Structure 1
Amino acid sequence: MSATEDETAPESSTPPKSDLDYKINLLFPGVVVRKDLVKAVKGNAIVPSYVLEYLLGQYAASDDEATIQAGIETVRKILAEHYVHRSESELVKSTIKERGRHRVIDKVTVTLNEKADVYEAEFANLGIKGVIVDSPVIKAHPKLLVGGVWCICDVEYFHSDDQRTVPWILGSIKPIQLSKFDVQQYLEARRGFTTDEWIDLLMQSIGFNPEMFSRRGKFFQLVRLIPFVERNYNLVELGPKGTGKSHIFSEFSPHGMLISGGEVTVPKLFVNNSNGRLGLVGYWDVVAFDEFAGKKKRTDKSLVDIMKNYMANKSFSRGVETLGAEASMVFVGNTSHTVPYMLKHSDLFDELPEAYHDPAYLDRLHHYIPGWEVDIIRGEMFSDGYGFVVDYIAEVLKSMRSQDYSDRYQPHFTLSSDISTRDRDGVHKTFSGLMKILYPGGEATKEEIEEILRFAIEGRKRVKDQILRIDSTMAEVKFGYTDREGAWSSVATLEEDEYPSYYYRGRTITESSVEPAVTTTEPGGTVTPSEAGTAPASESAPQLFEGHRDFHENQRGIAYETLLLPYLVGATEVTIVDPYIRMSHQGRNLVDLLALLAAAKDPAEEIRVTLVTKPDTGEYEKQHLLMLKDIQDSAARAGISFTVAWDDTIHDRSIRADNGWRILLGRGLDIFQKGSGGQFDLGARNHAFRQVVAFGVTYIREDARGS
């Protein structure tokens, strides 16, 4: 959609359904919901999304607009009548007293009163406690004992002259989560989607608009789901504020518990030795630690020790007894420095409390999500399309925790032989988790398996490479794999390619290391040359690189100034072949390149630039022609004679200059991901601050002009 089309589109309260939305409703009837409805019904109710979607799934799981609107009103009525606001707790208690019985939606926590030998419930918002709970309820829902569960409850009132008797009586209690689902139906319906469609469905289920994310960006969101589908998975994500690191663990599933990193204690997390009561890891599938970073945070040494043992062995001690648990551990926190700063001065675990900045602890982490690559969440990134009701997909993921898909790559690939057992475990668990999420039936092509395997290796490599910076006695590892034909593929982290001089600080780059990194202009304007890089034309580096280079998705530091300009300096005629210079951002890319050419040439000289492109014969033909005319007029004032040649047959993209260079561009000039678009976005002023899509460039030296 062009910018003009977007601006002139009429407003509508009902978003149009995409082809994917139609397919979702067709193949998963009754378990999907339009994601913007949560915001429509939430109001000022402070409840997790899965609670609201549970209700929407009961009444508005449809693509029929009349059914949806009726469902919304029903859910709003239920929330208005039964959800307990803390500020209105006395009013609700009065309602229970006057009616004798009333249904409430509240978070319920149960404790054992040892003296009275009874279980007692406390209602978080209603503010009542000491409510007797029968033992069968606890046996059916043990999580009530740890952390609390959102429930729909019937509460009764009966006053007694005995001051010790609590007047509140629990009539019924129903935790808000799906009770059952059909696994075979889920697997069969999955076969009706392509991989791209399935990824987009999962993105919409999380609540995000997939069009706003790159392929790599989508994978980061999917990795956040692995702790729900993989037992004893240890995940860390550190990055800037506002990237939604903790959202999934607080809102997505009734099987996850998000706690503040500063509130963690041994009794709360593992076991209370005084009464033998199990902690969070004994009852929850995922325990996530929010705000985990902070160098100066005080930590309990005994907690760190028991956590290291649990993360490695899946067990912990209760007195003389050893207990096992399946809870995955997630650690999320904010970074306060840029990636190159951390690489130059310390490492990518720099923000962790000192007690956790320990190779033995870090080595137990299976995957490191680079939070600095994840976009800060903006309003337009949320989805108004259809996705799974979250408690449905939460139950699906939970049901697959016992399965192991870690060997599904082995018919095609073999991991490097010097990858240690712990490294291999990290790769295997991430691979298994992504396979279960993306290909639950196990049906994946060799290429699809390779994509997941590379992503899994990269996340573990990021952990191991930072440990090597902390403990220089550890041996370096050659991260990669071979296929059945014996072809070797190495795997690098993105920051390794972006900042090689900082990444390898204090280390010798040997044959066992990954391929040399690509030279790019780093933020700040300096150019870092390397063996594989594109060196700018200068007195100290006159030799320009010839050959092919690949750039990775989400990589920063790439700019036309170093990628293209050195090869065009001195040319008087330049031909740009790109079939798609139509949309406004594509026009801006072209203008950016022309501006660089104009600034680099002698003001007294002129350059002739010809754009060979395809005509736009659709409804935006006029806007297309006007854009190119504006570019032509603007370029002329800067000494560039810009003309357009139309060619319906072209497909490949290239730039040819009469100074002897030809550049083959896999994606043409359109290599940058969409930024925030704000006028104060640095990426809008300097390409080097923007992330790129995956692309390749080939530099070919030809005869100079006149040949």
Structure 2
Amino acid sequence: MDELSKKLNTYFQGRVVRKDLTKKIKEGANVPVYVLEYLLGMYCATYDEDSINDGVERVKKILADNFVRPDEAEKIKSKIKELGRYTVIDKVSVKLNEKKDVYEAEFSNLGLKGVVISSHYVREFEKLLSGGIWNIVKISYFYDETARDVSPFNIDSLTPIQMPNLDIDEIMEGRKNFTKEEWIDILIRSIGMEPTQLDYSVKWHMLERIVPLVENNYNLCELGPRGTGKSHIYKEISPNSILISGGQTTVANLFYNMASRKIGLVGMWDAVAFDEVAGITFKDNDGIQIMKDYMASGSFARGREEKNASASMIFVGNINQSVEVLLKTSHLFEPFPEAMANDSAFFDRMHYYLPGWEVPKMRPEFLTDEYGYITDYLSEWCREMRKHSFTDAFDKYFKLGNNLNQRDVIAVRKTVSGLTKLIYPNGEYNKDDIAEILRYALVGRRRVKEQLKKIGGMEFYDVNFSYIDNETMEEEFVSVPEQGGGKIIPEGIGKAGHLYTIGRGRSGMIGAYKIETKVVNGSGKFEKTGLGSDREAKEAIETAFRFFKANSKNISGTISTGTKDYLMHVQDIHGVGLTSELALTAFIALCSAAMNRPAQSQIVVLGSMSIGGTISKVEELANVLQVCFDSGAKKILIPMSSAVDIGIVPPELFAKFQISFYQTPEDAVFKALGVE
């Protein structure tokens, strides 16, 4: 045992289990982890190695004798008949047979159907009616010739494989004996992972996966590569969550069955997870609309009734391309089905986007051999914490920046609340502790907002999330790692002939372009690279050079077009495809290189021109300015013809720049290069 395991055994004796025992038995028994650890907690809660080995053998024997394997169902049924009574471990679901006015149980692996079950079990364990739960069941056999349509199998007793009670004060007191780092490691070991093998940022992602289990009505999305354990917690670790594999469901199953007047999965479970989001389909046309309603408010209307529920919604799935490619060609919600993929209102309800690509693929060394909480103890604690709220945890120290709207604020508060419940359940934290959680919460919600901006345009322009220190009034901004932030246009004066513009690429998306120009001794040749086979982009660059040759003397008498060669390279920075809006920026770049005079720091040139020097206005000015800001621009050169569109630009965005207007190409050159 390492030191942390010894400490854990000291303060939580009987509540912990050695996770390698789970791993050993799990490999030979296809039962959920919480079923195994329920048994291990009963027979292996000790320090003594011999007693642990005896306990493991006992658990193995119980599973060998009582756990029902589907291929041995007939053998077990025969045992029940021959012995008269037998105990089995199986997943049991219950339905009401209204024609007979009885509840009937169905055994998942045993294959029994129509077994009458007492209504008091149904009242006590409602989840039997919704998907079923694992139980230890004593079954007896009695065949009555006069009742041919009644099953001869009878349920004598049924015990759900869950802890009967939880002392929440035990956890609150026990938490005081551990540091923040130790407590995080304990939680990660409790879900079967070895924290010493994980980066610090990955540990936080592991904790975020647990948040839907401690926070009511929490909407989490995690997309990433295969094999990173995205659905593991919701399927194996908690008996209070259900994983919908394949994604196909109905409104009646998920929300409310109007025929039987019974609430669906969201009313029975703490968390409902959709595996493989690409396959999410509703047989009902209004399914997605009802889901949006529920994700926003925790309630939904069916018929004349409005129902409330507290289940969190989790969406997990695979990204088949690299994140870089997705960001350039589409958005990070692209794996969702077509009915959702461009629905900004649906994604706006996501409280957090967990970057699955930052979590490593599972390998044997990532699984722990040390002690952690029995998963059932962990899940019952999570369920108890749903009654508490820490949404105001940061108000004493910080307030949120003005770019967060009401939905953003709710999302950030919910994430802060969930992580605070997990790491500081007794409410004992300081300013630095809560700042760390707040930053993490802001990044995940900003990731959602960045994608909404790509889907919905200017409606979601306000993505620059920040928090303000109540004491110093300093504002701290958070960035999303994969976006690259303002690194595209670096600070400081660049090289002569280097210029940036923003335009709409062939893909239909707006992106940044860099033009690099070099002048060498020669005979007036012009070479261009980076344009591929894009005819319109080539024509725009040719237009710039012809205009440059004809009008260079209007700029400076020192420019020579006959004794110099000009080399130009165009870079499509965002990978959105080349644009035809390059002529004016290319002309300024040629002038800059010829005069050996760099453009002003962090300036972007907008607008284009014809061969005769006619300036064209900027289309979708607000969207273009948002990309300018995201790319790191501080100064913007805008054609005078676009001044009429300034009114559609949000004032907060317009105020971020130093704006200059130009009327002619020559005017644009002087202003871009800072020539008076």
TM-score, normalised to structure 2's length?
0.71
Residue of structure 2 equivalent to 1:421: 406
Once the two structures are TM-superposed, the CA of residue 45 in structure 1 deviates from its matched residue by 2.1
Q: Is residue 299–residue 353 contact of structure 1 (8 Å, CA) maintained in 2?
A: no
Paired AA for residue 46 in structure 1: N
Residue of structure 2 equivalent to 1:496: 483
Once the two structures are TM-superposed, the CA of residue 498 in structure 1 deviates from its matched residue by 7.5
Paired AA for residue 315 in structure 2: F
**Match status 1:243 vs 2:254:** no
Matches within 5 A, 1:177-256: 177-256=162-241
- Indicate the SS of the match to 1:348: coil
Q: After superposition, give the CA deviation of every residue in 1:406-459 in whole Å (9 maximum; x if it has no partner).
A: 111111111012311100000000000000000001111211111100000100
Q: After superposition, give the CA deviation of every residue in 1:87-146 in whole Å (9 maximum; x if it has no partner).
A: 111110011001100000000000000100110000011111111111111110000000
**Match status 1:123 vs 2:110:** no
Matches within 5 A, 1:218-617: 218-293=203-278, 300-357=284-341, 358-477=343-462, 478-484=464-470, 485-497=472-484
Distance 2:131 2:8 in 1: 34
Residue of structure 1 equivalent to 2:577: none
Residue of structure 2 equivalent to 1:550: none
Paired AA for residue 285 in structure 1: D
Residue of structure 2 equivalent to 1:637: none
- Indicate the SS of the match to 1:122: strand
4+ residue runs over 6 A deviation:
504-508, 526-530
Q: Is residue 340–residue 499 contact of structure 1 (8 Å, CA) maintained in 2?
A: no
Q: After superposition, give the CA deviation of every residue in 1:162-182 in whole Å (9 maximum; x if it has no partner).
A: 311210000000110111121
Residue of structure 1 equivalent to 2:668: none
Q: Which runs of 5+ in 1 are unaligned?
A: 1-16, 509-515, 517-525, 531-539, 544-707
| Partner of residue 53 from structure 2, selected from 52, 56, 69 | 69
Paired AA for residue 153 in structure 2: W
| Partner of residue 143 from structure 2, selected from 152, 159, 169 | 159
Q: After superposition, give the CA deviation of every residue in 1:33-77 in whole Å (9 maximum; x if it has no partner).
A: 000101222353211101000110111122321221111011111
Distance 2:501 2:458 in 1: 15
Once the two structures are TM-superposed, the CA of residue 261 in structure 1 deviates from its matched residue by 4.2
- Indicate the SS of the match to 1:225: helix
Once the two structures are TM-superposed, the CA of residue 264 in structure 1 deviates from its matched residue by 1.5
Once the two structures are TM-superposed, the CA of residue 298 in structure 1 deviates from its matched residue by 7.7
Paired AA for residue 104 in structure 1: V
Residue of structure 2 equivalent to 1:174: 159
Matches within 5 A, 1:615-630: none
Q: 1:141 to 1:133 in 2, by over 3 A?
A: same
| Partner of residue 72 from structure 2, selected from 88, 91, 94 | 88
Q: 1:117 to 1:210 in 2, by over 3 A?
A: same
Paired AA for residue 17 in structure 2: V
Q: 1:442 to 1:237 in 2, by over 3 A?
A: same
Once the two structures are TM-superposed, the CA of residue 350 in structure 1 deviates from its matched residue by 1.1
Q: 1:529 to 1:365 in 2, by over 3 A?
A: closer
Q: Is residue 246–residue 279 contact of structure 2 (8 Å, CA) maintained in 1?
A: no
Distance 1:18 1:216 in 2: 23
Q: Is residue 271–residue 318 contact of structure 1 (8 Å, CA) maintained in 2?
A: yes
Distance 2:293 2:43 in 1: 46
Q: Is residue 107–residue 149 contact of structure 1 (8 Å, CA) maintained in 2?
A: yes
Residue of structure 2 equivalent to 1:702: none
Residue of structure 1 equivalent to 2:612: none
- Indicate the SS of the match to 1:471: helix
Q: 1:219 to 1:528 in 2, by over 3 A?
A: farther
Q: Which runs of 5+ in 2 are unaligned?
A: 490-499, 505-511, 513-569, 575-592, 599-676
Residue of structure 1 equivalent to 2:633: none
- Indicate the SS of the match to 1:409: coil
Distance 1:500 1:258 in 2: 40
Distance 1:247 1:411 in 2: 36
- Indicate the SS of the match to 2:286: helix
Higher radius of gyration, 1 or 2? 2
Q: After superposition, give the CA deviation of every residue in 1:197-248 in whole Å (9 maximum; x if it has no partner).
A: 0111111101011011111100001000011100000000001111000000
Distance 2:274 2:244 in 1: 5
Once the two structures are TM-superposed, the CA of residue 475 in structure 1 deviates from its matched residue by 3.9
Residue of structure 2 equivalent to 1:44: 28
Paired AA for residue 120 in structure 2: P
Q: Is residue 235–residue 368 contact of structure 1 (8 Å, CA) maintained in 2?
A: yes
Distance 1:93 1:43 in 2: 25
Q: Is residue 35–residue 207 contact of structure 1 (8 Å, CA) maintained in 2?
A: yes
The structure in which a higher percent of residues are helix is: 2
- Indicate the SS of the match to 2:53: helix
Q: 1:499 to 1:88 in 2, by over 3 A?
A: farther
Residue of structure 2 equivalent to 1:599: none
**Percent of aligned pairs with the same residue?**
46
Once the two structures are TM-superposed, the CA of residue 276 in structure 1 deviates from its matched residue by 1.4
Q: Is residue 83–residue 105 contact of structure 1 (8 Å, CA) maintained in 2?
A: yes
Q: CA RMSD in A?
A: 2.5
Distance 2:71 2:214 in 1: 38
- Indicate the SS of the match to 1:37: helix
Paired AA for residue 469 in structure 2: D
Q: Is residue 273–residue 315 contact of structure 2 (8 Å, CA) maintained in 1?
A: yes
Q: Is residue 282–residue 288 contact of structure 2 (8 Å, CA) maintained in 1?
A: no
Distance 1:186 1:42 in 2: 27
Once the two structures are TM-superposed, the CA of residue 317 in structure 1 deviates from its matched residue by 1.9
Distance 1:507 1:490 in 2: 27
Q: Is residue 452–residue 460 contact of structure 2 (8 Å, CA) maintained in 1?
A: no
